[in-house]
Amino acid sequence: MGARMIAFLFPGQGAQTPGFLHRLGGDTPHPAIARTFDEASDVLGENVLALDTADALASTVAVQITLVVAGVAATRALAQEGIEPEAVAGLSVGAYGAAVASGAIAFHDALKLVRLRATFMEEARPHGYGMLAVLGLNEREIARVLDDIKADIKADAYIGNLNAPRQIVVSGSDAALAQVRDLALSRGARKAERLAVSVPSHCVLLEDAATRLIDAARDVPIETPRIAYVGNRGARVLRRADAIREDLATNLRYPVRWHDSTIALSELGANVFVEMPPGQTLTSLLADALPGTPAYAMDASPIGAIAARVRIARDRAND
């Protein structure tokens, strides 16, 4: 067998649960995690650990900030245990944690840009919108559902995420998503449920927010990544700083082709995957996309335990 290439995956909005920052690293958090929390609090001017309560997570701003903090904290802790990625990808806001891990953007700049991103998203669509995950229909079938709904009523609904060939997320207004849910289920969808997201991400409904973020991102220092960074919009390896800047600034406007991103990582040579906290959604998707590939979700596991499992998978193949 060939040498192992480790890829880190960073989840997006919807993975959060109340208290997830407090659970990061298990009962005895790694020192790198505590230092990252302190750094984030200094940058933001508020205690980041106050942002993962149920009430706080009702805010898109709090959700997106805490997801980036969790991903970077876990990345740093694993690095101190000798586990570092050679490739990264992040779903939606997870792209910011991936960009930090790749060396393309400084942590403090990522936090400031993410805070603006989430604020612009909330201001663009402050209420009455969200996202719906549909399981069991493919992209073409979902497109037909959307076309039929729009032909019948004026519906704001668009494909937002393509997580798997038959796991697609639709973004839109509450009324439109209710129509999508009912029609998708009537056409054979196995499941259709709302996500814990209060904005219609990755579609034209956030065009204005994307324009504002592009302007804000122009002056943010972005560097050439040290490792492979797979972008959201085209599911391609991005090697230039300006391409990563565009990916970070515009991914809220365009669909995320996550399944294609995982395939791109595999084709690049990645064959051990580690999902940054919180949750295990990306690990589950990977198991379907790349059966038999070693994949580990950190979630609330002790850093040392995850590092040991990844080290074994890496070293076993390298022998």
Query: pLDDT tens digits, residue range 10-47?
Result: 999 999 999 999 999 888 889 999 999 999 999 999 99
What pLDDT is stored for residue 1 in this prediction? 45
Q: If you ran DSSP here, which 8-state letter would residue 203 be given?
A: S
Q: Which CATH architecture has domain 129-195?
A: 2-Layer Sandwich (3.30)
In degrees, rounded to 5, the angle at the alpha carbon of residue 300 between the alpha carbons of residues 201 and 93 is: 20
**Cβ neighbours of 133 (radius 10 Å):** 21
Tens digit of each residue's pLDDT, the chain (319 residues) = 456 899 999 999 999 999 999 999 888 889 999 999 999 999 999 999 999 999 999 999 999 999 999 999 999 999 999 999 999 999 999 999 999 999 999 999 999 999 999 999 999 998 999 999 999 999 999 999 999 998 776 779 999 999 999 999 999 999 999 999 999 999 999 999 999 899 999 999 999 999 999 999 999 999 999 999 999 988 999 999 999 999 999 999 999 999 999 999 999 999 999 999 999 999 999 999 999 999 999 998 899 999 999 999 888 755 5
CA separation for the pair 184, 80 (Å, rounded)? 47
CA separation for the pair 75, 101 (Å, rounded)? 7
What pLDDT is stored for residue 221 in this prediction? 98
DSSP E strand boundaries for the chain: 6-10, 87-90, 129-135, 157-164, 167-173, 191-194, 228-230, 237-238, 272-275, 295-297
Positions annotated as catalytic residues are 92, 202
What pLDDT is stored for residue 317 in this prediction? 58
CATH superfamily of 5-124+204-316: Malonyl-Coenzyme A Acyl Carrier Protein, domain 2 (3.40.366.10)
CA separation for the pair 59, 285 (Å, rounded)? 26
What pLDDT is stored for residue 131 in this prediction? 97
Strands 6-10 and 272-275: parallel
Phi, psi at 183, each rounded to 5°:
-70, -40
In degrees, rounded to 5, the angle at the alpha carbon of residue 7 between the alpha carbons of residues 52 and 278 is: 15
- Domain locations in the chain as residue ranges: 5-124+204-316, 129-195
Closest CA to 31 of 101, 67, 80, 87: 80
Q: 9 with 90: CB under 8 angstroms?
A: yes
